[in-house]
Amino acid sequence: GAGVSQSPSNKVTEKGKDVELRCDPISGHTALYWYRQSLGQGLEFLIYFQGNSAPDKSGLPSDRFSAERTGGSVSTLTIQRTQQEDSAVYLCASSLEGTVASPLHFGNGTRLTVT
Amino acid sequence: EDQVTQSPEALRLQEGESSSLNCSYTVSGLRGLFWYRQDPGKGPEFLFTLYSAGEEKEKERLKATLTKKESFLHITAPKPEDSATYLCAVRYSGGYNKLIFGAGTRLAVHP
């Protein structure tokens, strides 16, 4: 079956511009996560959605970052006024539930380059 | 501070040369430890979940074990196609919904 789909796969933007990154989770998965992976670094948690519950936004690095999930499916991560330090691979993952027993399935990410 | 540390950062093996990767963690209330494989340009691919000390899981040439402070990923008679970055992650009571990842071990297996 189809896995987690992310678009675009690559995005180059100028400093100060806004960007939107999209994630289509696996059908039927109720939990959705956004992570950021910088070169040589581990994955950094950004935000978590579970069903209709309020999202866990504890990992968002600044108020320039926001995310929404519409209809319990597609999610969009928005970065406003991008900075060079925002350059990274942004990974989306989904799981059947938000429990420990449900492993995360990742997309291939969006590589963001801020010039 | 809650954290996950992986060692070594990089490992080069000859085909057939068995070895182990280490993942040590300092979190309270471990709820699960996860191993993922990541190929260049791809997202991490789930391998194993371990829940309690003494537990072991196997898949082909890979075997994951767990103690109270660390996990090992043993690779037996590796092949070049096992070359990848291996990531360890933990979910713990104080972390609620998120997995904390280590920085990974880059494994290169040469023929």
14-73 in chain B: CB under 8 A from chain A: 31-32, 34, 36, 41-46, 49, 51
pLDDT tens-digit profile of B50-71?
A: 999 999 999 999 999 999 999 9
Query: What was the pLDDT predicted at A41?
Result: 78
User: Which of B83, B89, B78 lies closest to B49, judged by CA?
Assistant: B89
User: Which of A73, A75, A54 lies closest to A65, judged by CA?
Assistant: A75
Phi, psi of A44 (to 5 degrees): -110, 120
User: Which of B1, B98, B100 has the highest number of chain A CBs within 10 A, making it the mutation to test binding with A?
Assistant: B98
Q: β-pairing, A19-24 with A65-69?
A: unpaired
Number of CB atoms found within 10 A of residue A67's CB: 21
CA dist., res. A38 & res. A53, Å (int): 29
Q: Which residues of A touch B36 (CB under 8 A)?
A: 106
Cβ–Cβ of A43/B89 closer than 8 Å?
yes
The residue ranges of every structural domain in chain A are 5-96
Per-residue tens of pLDDT for chain B, all 111 residues = 678 999 999 999 999 999 999 999 998 888 999 999 999 999 999 999 999 999 999 999 999 999 999 999 999 999 999 999 999 999 988 766 788 999 999 999 999
CA distances from B82 to A53, A59, B18 (A): 39, 32, 12
Query: What was the pLDDT predicted at A114?
Result: 97
Is residue A18 pLDDT above 80, yes or no? yes
pLDDT tens-digit profile of A52-99?
A: 888 999 999 999 999 999 887 999 999 999 999 999 999 999 998 777
The residue ranges of every structural domain in chain B are 3-110
CA dist., res. A30 & res. A19, Å (int): 25
pLDDT tens-digit profile of B89-99?
A: 999 887 667 88
CA dist., res. B11 & res. A79, Å (int): 36
User: Which of B46, B36, B76, B97 lies closest to A59, judged by CA?
Assistant: B97
Q: What topology is assigned to B3-110 in CATH?
A: Immunoglobulin-like (2.60.40)
Contact A18, A10 (CB under 8 A): no
What is the full DSSP assignment across B12-76? Answer: EEETT--EEEEEEEE-SSEEEEEEEEE-TTS--EEEEEE-STT-EEEETTEEEEE-SSEEEEEE-
Q: Measured between CA atoms, how close is A105 to chain B, in angstroms?
A: 7
Q: Is B105 exposed, middle or buried (0-12, 13-18, 19+ CB in 10 A)?
A: buried
CA dist., res. A24 & res. B44, Å (int): 16
Q: Which residues of A touch B4 (CB under 8 A)?
A: 42
Q: A5-96 has which CATH code?
A: 2.60.40.10
User: Which of A23, A33, A53, A104 has the highest number of chain B CBs within 10 A, making it the mutation to test binding with B?
Assistant: A104
- Of chain A, the percentage scoring pLDDT greater than 90 comes to 79
Alpha-carbon B17 to chain mean position: 18
Q: Is A103 helix (H, G, I), strand (E, B) or coil?
A: coil
